Amino acid sequence: MLPCVLYIQWELTLQYSPSFWSQRFQDPAAVIANHIQLITAASDAARKEVPVECGVKYGPKEGQILDLFGGKSLPHDAPILVYIHGGYWQELSRDISAYCVVPQYQSGIRVIILGYDLAPRVKLSEIVEEIKEAAEYILNMAAKFGTRSLWFCGHSAGAQLVAMLLFSKWLDQLDDSVFRLLKGFVLISGVYDLTPLVSTYINNSLKLSSQEARSLSPLLLDITSPAVTKLRILVAVGDHDSPEFQRQSYEFAEKLRQHSQQVEYMTVAGVDHFDIVENLQQKDFILTKIIGVLMTG
């Protein structure tokens, strides 16, 4: 029999390795390989099909770069969707994360694909700071464009980065003329309590202490910002995500609900941690349609 500590460690590793839960492939490595292949092809296609300004710097650090899709072909007040990729803050990049662009652009939405520095080069607390700087930069840019609405959407680790925007004072200090552009968040298959990751391989490059993990966990922090009551928030998770991922999404949505009546929770049928976002390249996928309706309705 395995000693209890080893068993718990193995169970945590399993719960927080999304590739093990896909029902589409036998081999977890094949899930990731397929994911990279699909999102790379869809991102290449987006750059061919949609006018794009690539490589806009939004801050001083190397990875603080965004790509802005839509150009002059959209009206100046077109809504903006900001998309933040996942990969446990150590994998993937903005240039292969533009897969949601084409259908949203076809619905009249500008899309910003946000890049950020990755661990172990930077600490997670620095990445959270980079995203805050991005949000500030983008809101001010949107105010200049005359944008009518702005949404943030994050996948997996990217959903934690979006959620952390709620725990920073800058949101409450924004001028109302800028804050009113921010309409909501779409949080897809996120991780909101980081403390279980500390004892897994995921922490090899993050090097989070238990204390740091707590301070970066939206599920464990007090929500004090009045901004939360003004935002619409959709928390979505795949029904083939691991039970722990599903629990975290459910609990975070419940926590948000204690502060706001504008929070929705949904389990997306028939998808895992990866095709829940791969499918954002399809205009008929339920989440693609919901994002379009939320942003233009």
Ligand X SMILES: N[C@@H](CC(=O)c1ccccc1NC=O)C(=O)O
Number of H helices, E strands in the chain: 12, 8
Least distance to ligand X, CB of residue 279, Å? 14
In the block, tokens 């995500």 appear at 241
In the block, tokens 């895992």 appear at 272
Copy the structure tokens of residue 193: 């309590």
176 is catalytic: no
Here the contacts of 210-215 (C-beta below 8 Å, separation 24 or greater) are 212/124, 212/125, 215/125
Catalytic residue among 95, 241, 272, 275: 241
Catalytic residue among 67, 217, 273, 275: 273
Closer residue to ligand X, CB minimum distance, 149 or 217: 217
Residue ranges binding ligand X (CB under 6 A): 17-19, 28, 86-88, 91-92, 156-157
Least distance to ligand X, CB of residue 233, Å? 19
Closer residue to ligand X, CB minimum distance, 231 or 276: 276
Q: DSSP H helical segments within 146-257, as ranges?
A: 157-163, 170-173, 176-179, 203-206, 210-215, 243-257
Closer residue to ligand X, CB minimum distance, 19 or 43: 19
95 is catalytic: no
**Quick one: angle between helices 243-257 and 4-15, nearest 10?**
70
Closer residue to ligand X, CB minimum distance, 189 or 225: 189
Least distance to ligand X, CB of residue 61, Å? 20
156 is catalytic: yes
Asked if 240 and 270 touch (Cβ cutoff 8 Å), the reply is yes
Least distance to ligand X, CB of residue 179, Å? 28
Catalytic residue among 19, 22, 43, 156: 156
Question: Which residues are known to be catalytic?
Answer: 156, 241, 273
